[in-house]
Amino acid sequence: MSSILLTILSLSSIGIIAAIILFLFAQKFKVLENPIIFDVEDALPAANCGGCGYPGCKNFAEACVNSDTLDDLYCPVGGQETMDIVANLLGKEAKQTDPRVAVIRCSGSFENRPRTNYYDGASSCAVASALYVGDTDCPVGCLGMDDCVDVCEFEAIYMNRKTGLPVVIDENCTACGACVEACPRDIIELRKKNKNDRHIFVSCINTEKGGIAKKYCSVACIGCTKCFKVCEFEAITMGNNLAFIDSDMCTLCRRCVTECPTHAILEINFPPRKIKTDKENALMKRDE
Amino acid sequence: MSKMLKTFRKGGIHPPEYKLTGKNPVKILPLPEKVTILLSQHIGVPAIPVVNKGDTVKVGQLIAQGRGFVSASIHSSVSGKVVKIDSIPDHTGYKKPAIVIEVEGDEWEENIIKSTDLRKDITLSKDEILEKIRESGIVGLGGAAFPSHVKLILPKNKKAETLIINGVECEPYLTSDHRLMLEYGEEMMVGIHILMKVLNIRKAIIGIENNKADAVCFLKDISSKFPGIEVYPLKVKYPQGSEKQLIEALTGREVPSRKLPIDVGVIVHNVSTAYAVYEAVQKNKPLINRIVTVSGKSLKNPSNFVVRIGTPVRFLIEAAGGLPENTGKVISGGLMMGKTINSLDVPVIKGMSGILVLPEDETKRKSIEPCIRCSKCVTICPMGLEPYLLMPLTQNGSFYRLEKQMVLDCIECGSCSYICPSNRPLLDFIRLGKTEVTKLINERK
């Protein structure tokens, strides 16, 4: 009996002494952290994608708490909703930011862009791009080896094996920018997410002169400035034989789309047009 | 006997040799109709054109001036009219600035001595020679195309003891250096003497792999006429032609990581570079042509050609019997380290030592299987790296760890990809990892 008592007593006294030592050490080395950081972190999507520019959600929460304004801070995954919650928690103003979505600025499918050679090296866009121009003559077009698909954490992008081009699923895309970083050819761009996910953009980044660009790819932007002339809202700028549509200025009137002679301007998620000309029929076919 | 021969210690492989053209004398290729001279044929800053469209140029005339210290001037390899200064696709397919010259006749600059007599006496002073080498646009002709004058100007507190002349040619198929040693041996020896004078050293070693026994014998014979030059046969092992491996094989010294050969008192130059130096200093002839091996088992007449820089590759292949029908790849450089060219219209550049035409069934890569941890790549890596580890680190983007694994020591010899039983594209990813780590280091500065 006494041995049991002795054991209990000695063990609990060791426990108590250890607890006291631990408590003292915890007091001595304790790190003071603003508890609101945890609240902010809880409000964040916990995707740890790095889309905000910080390594993880915790770091972003710290930055939110420590900075004076929330102007430069934006969580693309959570969007405006999350930022409003964060602003509420911190008693600060959240800047109104339009949600964005990734678009692929290349339409060089197997059909549109003839393959001139056969690549059988390591299946990685980064490797292939560093090695040579790719299996077509276009030095800036999509290489179609899944680098963007691999980095996407939201399953928002997949490779269409029929065209050899990646496709963005607008509902899933959070505009975290991982694919933009991963693409060695810089063909992925984050653009304003309009109502009903509608967007219009020039689906080409080739800056070669028209004739050469057309030789590479039948749907290349040839820099003819037709869209530039037809746009009433000054949303289109020309530079280096390439048109660019500013998504903040664009009113989605679609006049440039019909004007483009090479069908390099894409319209996405629009209802079908009422009267269809042959040209538009061809365009629809390509979009499918 | 062969056990006595020297070689480097760590790793190495023995790819089949396929030296088809070792016995064929060098032929002089006729002039093409048009040459395309790239402005960036060397490591470093591209040269700036000093001629305009429509100008008439002579053979050997300066057409692009080297800019900055690590750069090389470029001279016209033909006489004729400049028809275009524009960007053209190089062997990668990406566009690079180039000068296109239409050939008219063959008129040389007056000061170039065209006779083939051996001029043995070195009359110029050390500084004059160095200036001449710089002006002549000479780069390392072994393949890396590093401007030669940069290697010859020693850092202040460093001293060179030995000059090593690289006649190893460990790549399969290539025989351009082999033929050069046999046919222009004496000129090359004078070139070595010139290099020795510039570096102010008395000892030079020519390292030659033992599969070129005729070149070893020939150079040993004539070396009695050239004091200070020794010829060493080496055991055949790839990649012995790499600077660091050759230094280890010949002197037993190991160049430390991220250091240069001069840090162990050695300077290495290629045999072709030594010959180019002879021509520049003794004959005033800038670097306008080189010997290129055009080889491949399916080719009708594999040969070595003396080719003017800028000649289209198509022209060389036509001269070797035309492109066979079943061709899968045409490679510029050697079988192990060369790169596939994208179009036959790309021009010959200074660093192009060979053109290999390979049939389709030989060039297809086999399907990639998982790594089975057999450690063959670790055993054969001549730099003592662990390629199987470097590839996933690159794929995962762990560039800090990659840097710690000394990825920058990789000489890109391709032995790991060659030996891998799972056909893993190790070198492709290691090369990518190297660029990323270099970026990281530059950002830190």
Alpha-carbon gap, residue B216 to B22, rounded angstroms: 13
Residue A115 C-alpha, separation from nearest chain B C-alpha, in angstroms: 12
- Are A115 and A242 found together in one domain? yes
Q: What percentage of chain B carries pLDDT values higher than 70?
A: 99
Does the residue A152 lie in any domain? yes
Q: Using omega within 30 degrees of 0 as the cis cutoff, is the peptide bond preceding B239 cis?
A: yes
d(CA B348, CA B37): 8
- Nearest C-alpha of chain B: how many angstroms from A78? 26
- A108 and A182 fall within a common domain: yes
Strand B162-166 versus strand B95-103 pairing type: unpaired
Q: Are residues A279 and A153 in the same domain?
A: yes
Q: Measure CB to CB from residue B342 to each of A117, A123, A126 and give the nearest one.
A: A117
Model pTM score: 0.86
| Total residues found in chain B within this entry | 445
Domain-located, residue A244: yes
A104 and A134 housed in the same domain: yes
B365:A127 CB<8 A: no
Which residue of A121, A133, A139 is in closest CB contact with B428? A121
Spatial separation of the C-alpha atoms in residues A54 and A51, rounded to whole Å: 7
Task: Calculate what percentage of chain A has a pLDDT beyond 70.
Answer: 95
Cβ distance A132 to B342 less than 8 Å, yes or no, reads: yes
Q: How far is A56 from chain B (nearest CA, A)?
A: 17
pLDDT of residue B1: 45
Q: Are residues A86 and A107 in the same domain?
A: no
Query: Chain B closest CA to A120's CA: distance in Å?
Result: 6
Residues A151 and A253 in one domain: yes
Question: Both A163 and A257 in a single domain?
Answer: yes
**What digits encode the pLDDT tens for the residues B43-70?**
988 999 999 999 999 999 999 998 888 8
Could you tell me what percent of chain B has a pLDDT over 90?
84
Mean pLDDT, residues A46-56: 87
Mean pLDDT of chain B: 92
Tell me, letter by letter, the H, E, C secondary structure of chain B: CHHHCECCCCCCECCCCCCCCCCCCCEECCCCCEEEEECCCCCCCCCEECCCCCCEECECCEEEECCCCCCCCEECCCCEEEEEEEEEECCCCCEEEEEEEEECCCCECCCCCCCCCCCCCCCCCHHHHHHHHHHCCCECCCCCCCEHHHHHCCCCCCCCCEEEEECCCCCCCCCHHHHHHHHCHHHHHHHHHHHHHHHCCCEEEEEEECCCHHHHHHHHHHHCCCCCEEEEEECCCECCCCHHHHHHHHHCCCCCCCCCHHHHCEEEEEHHHHHHHHHHHHHCCCCCEEEEEEECCCCCCCEEEEEECCCEHHHHHHHCCCCCCCEEEEEECCCCCCEECCCCCCECCCCCCEEEEEEHHHHCCCCCCCCCCCCHHHHHCCCCCCHHHHHHHHHHCCHHHHHHCCHHHCCCCCHHHHHCCCCCCHHHHHHHHHHHHHHHHHHHC
Q: Judge if A73 and A113 occupy the same domain.
A: no
> Which of A113, A115, A120 is the best residue to mutate to test the B interface, defined by the most B CB atoms within 10 Å of its own CB?
A120
pLDDT for B404 equals: 94
Question: Which CATH number is A246's domain given?
Answer: 3.30.70.20
Give the pLDDT band of residue A276 (cuts 50, 70, 90): low
Q: Which residue of B has its CA nearest to A122?
A: B425
* A278 pLDDT tier (thresholds 50, 70, 90): low
Which residues of A lie inside 8 Å of B (Cβ-Cβ)?
117, 120-124, 126-127, 130-134, 137, 139
The residue whose two tokens read 């660019």 is: A244
Which of A43, A58, A90 represents a domain boundary (last residue)?
A: A90
User: Could you tell me the CA-to-CA distances from A283 to A128, A142, A255, A273, A286 in Å, in that order?
Assistant: 30, 20, 14, 11, 5
A225 within some domain: yes
How many interchain CB pairs under 8 A, A with B?
A: 43
| Chain B contact set for A123 (CB, 8 A) | 368
CB A232 within 8 A of CB A210: no
Domain carrying residue A79: 35-90
Domain final position from A70, A90, A110: A90
Together in a domain, A216 and A182: yes
Q: What is the pLDDT of residue A277?
A: 64
Q: Do A139 and B95 touch (CB under 8 A)?
A: yes
Q: For the segment B248-264, what is each residue's pLDDT rounded down to a tens digit?
A: 999 999 999 999 999 99
| Nearest-by-CA chain A residue for B396 | A151
On chain A, the residues whose CB falls within 8 A of the CB of B364 are 120
Q: Is the pLDDT of residue A23 over 90?
A: yes
In a domain, A3, yes or no: no
Q: Chain A partners of B93 at a C-beta cutoff of 8 Å?
A: 132-134, 137, 139
Q: Specify the pLDDT at position B20.
A: 92
Diameter of chain A by CA atoms? 101
A2 is a domain residue: no
Residue A12 is assigned to a structural domain of this protein: no
CA distance A60 to chain B (A): 22
How far apart are alpha carbons B60 and A246 in whole angstroms?
52
CATH number for the domain that contains residue A44: 1.10.15.40
Out of A23, A58, A90, a domain closes at A90
Number of domains making up chain A? 2
Q: Is residue A77 part of a domain?
A: yes
What was the ipTM of the complex prediction?
A: 0.86
Buried b (16+ CB within 10 A) or exposed e, A237-271: eeeebbbbbebeebebeeebbbebebbbbbbbeee
Q: How many CB atoms lie within 10 A of CB A36?
A: 14
Contact yes or no for A137 and B425 at CB 8 A: no
Domains in chain B, start-ordered, CATH in brackets? Answer: 2-13+126-283 (3.40.50.11540), 376-444 (no CATH)
pLDDT at A281 over 70: no
Residue B277 has pLDDT above 90, yes or no: yes
Residues with Cβ within 8 Å of A181's Cβ and at least 6 positions away in sequence, in order, are A151
B92 CB neighbours in chain A (<8 A) are 131-133
> Under an 8 A CB cutoff, do B365 and A124 touch?
no
DSSP-assigned states of every residue in A142-178: ---SSHHHHH-SSS-EEEETTTTEEEE-TTT-----H
* Residues of chain B neighbouring A122 (CB-CB closer than 8 A): 425, 428-429
A131 in any annotated domain: yes
pLDDT in tens, A156-184: 999 999 999 999 998 899 888 899 999 99
Q: How far is A136 from chain B (nearest CA, A)?
A: 9
Structure confidence by residue, pLDDT tens digits, B419-437: 999 999 999 999 999 999 9
pLDDT tens-digit profile of B131-175? 999 999 999 998 888 999 999 998 888 889 999 999 999 999 999
| Contact flag B432-A133 (C-beta cutoff 8 Å) | no
Verify that A265 and A183 share a domain, yes or no: yes
- pLDDT, residue B2, reads 45
Residues A144 and A172 in one domain: yes
Bridge partners of A239, per DSSP, are A242
pLDDT at B321 over 70: yes
Q: Is the same domain home to A68 and A106?
A: no
Arithmetic mean of pLDDT, B161-190: 94
Kindly report the nearest CA distance between residue A143 and chain B, in angstroms.
Answer: 14
Mean pLDDT along residues A68-79: 86
Residues B402, B393 contacting (CB under 8 angstroms): yes
